[in-house]
Every structure is written in C-alpha cells, then in structure tokens.
C-alpha cells in the first residue's frame, strides 16, 4: 500500500519541476528577483525559458505498472501484501472462476441460437473482483459492458444474470435490453447502456451529487481504453477535476478496444498519462494481479472520500476472448498471442498459484469446485430457458407516468396486427 500512496501522491497536485515538464533541453530560469518577472498567466502553472524546445511525447519512460504478485503468484514486496484473509481470497477465486464458467455456457448458448448476443470476460476477471472488493457496498457503480464480475462479487444471483441475457419474465428490465446490459438498484449498479462512454459524464454528475450530500460514498466508473477516445471521456475527466468529485475512473486497457490495437488508437503513453493533464491523480496497475487492483482502488477510494478528489486508475490487462459474439478476433491478432495470455499470464491462474503456495487450495478442491460451479450455472441456465418472455404490453409501459395518446395508439395497432396475423408469431412463448 505504501507504493500505491507514493504513486498517487507523485502524480497528484505537487509543484511540477522543470524536469517533470519533460522539456528535454530547456533551461529553467534562475530565481526571479521580483513578483512581476514571474509568469502571471491564469491558465497554467509554469516558468519562463529562453530556448525554443517542443515537448516530446517520448522524453520520459512509460508510467510504471504497480504490481503485488508476479506471474507465479509470489508476493514481490511483502510490504505491499494486503494480508487478506483466507475466506476473502477464496471469495475472489470463487467469483472469478464462476464468472468464467458462466461465460463459457452463455457464449455457447449464443452460438446455438438460444440468446441473441454475448460478451465474455476472459482475462479481465482480476480487474472486476479486485476493484469490487475494495469498494463499499453502497458505492455507486457505472459499468460499460464487461463488468459482470463486479455484480457477481456483490451477490447478484445467477438466475438474474440468465434472466437478463434471455430477456425473460424474470428480467428486471423486462426484456427490453440486449444481453449483458445488467443493472441492479439494490446493489447500486446503474443499468448498462450500449453507446460507448455515455456513462462517464453521467457518473461524474452522480459523484457531484454525492459530494453535495457529504455522503461517505464514491462513484466508480468503468470503461475500456477504446471508450477513452470518445469525447464524453474527456468531458467527464475535466468536469470531475474542476468540480472536485469523489469518483474513481477505472480504465480496463485490454489492448484492442473492439478490434483496433492500441498502437492504432493513440500515440501517447496509455490512458493514465492523460490524468495529470486534466488534474486527475493517476496510477497504472497490473490488471491481472487482483491484489494490485485491490490495493490501488482501496487507497484511491479512501482518498476520494477524505479529500473529494477524482482518481484515474488504468488497469493493464488482456482480452482473451473475442470482443463479443459479433467479433472474430483471429482477423486482427495471432493465436499464439492469445495463448500466451491464456496460459502464461492469466489472473485466475496467478491467484491459484498464490493460494497453492499458502496451502489454501489443492487439486481436489479445484475439481470439486469446478463441478459444483458448473452445476449451479447450468441449473440457472435451464431455469431461464423454461421461463416465458414478458408480456408484449411491456414494450409500451414505464416511460410515462400516464400513457400518452400516441403510445396508446401504437399499442392498439400492435394488438390489431396480432389479432389478424398472430398465428405467425410465437405468442405462446410470452406471458398472457
């Protein structure tokens, strides 16, 4: 935790020296003899120089990546070990592996035509669970669409995951959303919307409201490095910094956005490098190290509440699966590359190595848990398939307190159509 605090302080609001301004050859002026000789511009904190030099993007080496465990699950620096209990670490592992199991079953379900769409979380499980565990239960979550593990860690039941993906009568959203667009008012998880980055300025607004309430809460807003190229991200960063909002911007940098490698997305040093330019205290962490993610989010949350400050956390990870069931990632990356991350640097295997070294886990427990986990997921899956779809009238409700005339006309038009052509629709699959 000491290293996390040092990094966050170092990228905070400290006075910037000539060297950290990245002026490769510029000379700082000596001490000014009077106040009038110093720069008085209101738009920036800077010093005069008398040599023409442009700031180069590669003057300094990349922002370091904070980690706690190496790839073999060994603690690198004992001072950074969060010293979590066996029960908590087991919860980490159970959540990550159960999410993995659910992904495999629902991915195959889509391939078989049982659901319309799906997005897996392969390789990014550590970012979900490490961050979720460091939050308070009442902290408000704005997800993008690959944060199912955050909900699962908070106790969202498998039945609800399945109901949402199947759009059946058990879905709180009444079948109106695409699969993987989860939401839970009880678990303080704002319902996911499809357009990229729209959640970022919304999350800042929620954080500003929390600040005005003086509540012991923060907002965490998840997004991918591809979404960070959207204008909403830049607007959100700027508003959060200027309004001093208690928000954690959590960027999952998985290397490819939808299908574009980071080398074609930006020329700067990732997403964390943008933070200081907006006045955000920033840190880059190993997203495949669940303890590093936990430490960084826990410390950022503590300071966000205490100081009403925004933080930017960039979790470096890798998307092992396709972007979604609409994507074929073999078109833009090699099988060998994917296999490396799947076999050599996976967040689940790294945590398993740690647990084995502590004698908290063994092969028999692994086999028993995998069997049990699959059974739970399959039971929820089968139950979801048996449930009827919501009543068609749900297409017209819940927008207005009192249904206006034009919506009534649309509903009546639908039922007139079904009365004539109903035999061509699977109405027996819907609630009566």
> Is 25 designated active site?
no
Q: Alpha-carbon distance 15 to 248, whole Å?
A: 23
What backbone torsions phi and psi does residue 88 show, to the nearest 5 degrees?
-70, -40
| Phi-psi region at 16: left, alpha or beta (left = phi > 0; alpha = psi -120 to 50) | beta
What backbone torsions phi and psi does residue 47 show, to the nearest 5 degrees?
-120, 160
Q: Alpha-carbon distance 132 to 150, whole Å?
A: 5
Q: What share of the chain is helix, strand, coil (3-state, %, to 5)?
A: 45, 10, 45
Supply the DSSP symbol for 228.
G
Residue 186: closest CA among 221, 143, 140, 246: 140
- Residues in the chain, pLDDT under 70: 1-36, 59-60
> Is 282 designated active site?
no
**Strand arrangement, sheet containing 219-224:** 189-190, 140-142, 219-224, 247-253, 311-316, 281-286
Q: What is the pLDDT of residue 33?
A: 52
The active-site residue, picked from 323, 329, 346, 373, is: 323
Residue showing tokens 């960084």: 296
The active-site residue, picked from 45, 194, 326, 334, is: 194
H helical segments located in 35-147: 86-111, 125-134
Q: What is the pLDDT of residue 1?
A: 64
Supply the DSSP symbol for 219.
E
Q: Alpha-carbon distance 195 to 325, whole Å?
A: 17
> Is 194 designated active site?
yes
Cβ proximity of 84 and 110 under 8 Å: no
The active-site residue, picked from 108, 337, 379, 382, is: 108
Q: What is the pLDDT of residue 234?
A: 97
Q: What is the pLDDT of residue 19?
A: 37
Q: What is the pLDDT of residue 177?
A: 93
Specify the DSSP element, H or E, that contains 315.
Answer: strand 311-316
User: What angle in degrees, to the nearest 10, is found between the helix axes of 86-111 and 347-357?
Assistant: 150
Q: Please give the model's pTM, rounded to 2 decimal places.
A: 0.89
Cβ proximity of 24 and 59 under 8 Å: yes
> Is 263 designated active site?
no
The active-site residue, picked from 324, 329, 346, 373, is: 324
E strands in 143-278: 189-190, 219-224, 247-253
Sequential DSSP letters for 251-271: EEE-S-TTT--HHHH-SSSTT
Residues in the chain: 432
């Amino acid at each position: 935790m000491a290293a996390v605090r040092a990094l966050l302080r170092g990228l905070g609001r400290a006075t910037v020296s000539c060297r950290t301004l990245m002026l490769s050859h510029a000379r700082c002026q000596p001490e000014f003899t009077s106040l009038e000789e110093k720069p008085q511009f209101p738009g920036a904190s800077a010093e005069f120089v008398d040599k023409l030099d442009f700031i180069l993007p590669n003057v300094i080496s990349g922002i370091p990546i904070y980690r706690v465990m190496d790839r073999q699950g060994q603690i690198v620096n004992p001072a950074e070990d969060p010293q979590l209990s066996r029960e908590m670490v087991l919860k980490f592992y159970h959540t990550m592996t159960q999410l993995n199991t659910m992904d495999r079953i629902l991915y195959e379900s889509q391939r078989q035509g049982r659901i319309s769409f799906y997005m897996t979380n392969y390789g990014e499980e550590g970012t979900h669970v490490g961050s979720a565990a460091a939050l308070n239960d009442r902290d408000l979550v704005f997800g993008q669409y690959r944060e199912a593990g955050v909900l699962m860690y908070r106790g969202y039941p498998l039945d609800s995951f399945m109901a949402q993906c199947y759009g059946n009568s058990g879905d709180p959203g009444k079948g109106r959303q695409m699969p993987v667009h989860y939401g839970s008012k009880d678990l303080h998880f704002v319902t996911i919307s499809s357009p990229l980055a729209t959640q970022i300025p919304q999350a800042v607004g929620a954080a500003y409201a929390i600040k005005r309430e003086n509540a012991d809460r923060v907002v965490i807003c998840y997004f991918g490095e591809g979404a960070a190229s959207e204008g909403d991200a830049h607007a959100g960063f700027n508003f959060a910094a200027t309004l001093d909002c208690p928000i954690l911007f959590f960027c999952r940098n998985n290397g490819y956005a939808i299908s574009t490698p980071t080398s074609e997305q930006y020329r700067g040093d990732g997403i964390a490098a943008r933070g200081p330019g907006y006045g955000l205290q920033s840190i880059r962490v190993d997203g495949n190290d669940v303890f590093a993610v936990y430490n960084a989010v826990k410390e950022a949350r503590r300071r966000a509440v205490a100081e009403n400050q925004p933080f930017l956390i960039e979790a470096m990870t890798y998307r092992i699966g396709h972007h979604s069931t609409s994507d074929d990632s073999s078109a833009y990356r090699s099988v060998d590359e994917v296999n490396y991350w799947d076999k050599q640097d996976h967040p689940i295997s790294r945590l398993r190595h740690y647990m084995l070294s502590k004698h908290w886990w063994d092969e028999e427990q692994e086999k028993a848990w995998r069997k049990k986990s699959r059974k739970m997921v399959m039971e929820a899956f089968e139950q979801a398939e048996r449930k009827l779809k919501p009543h068609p009238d749900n297409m017209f409700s819940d927008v207005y307190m009192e249904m206006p005339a034009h919506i009534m006309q649309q509903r009546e038009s639908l039922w007139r159509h079904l009365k004539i052509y109903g035999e061509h629709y699977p109405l027996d699959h819907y609630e009566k």
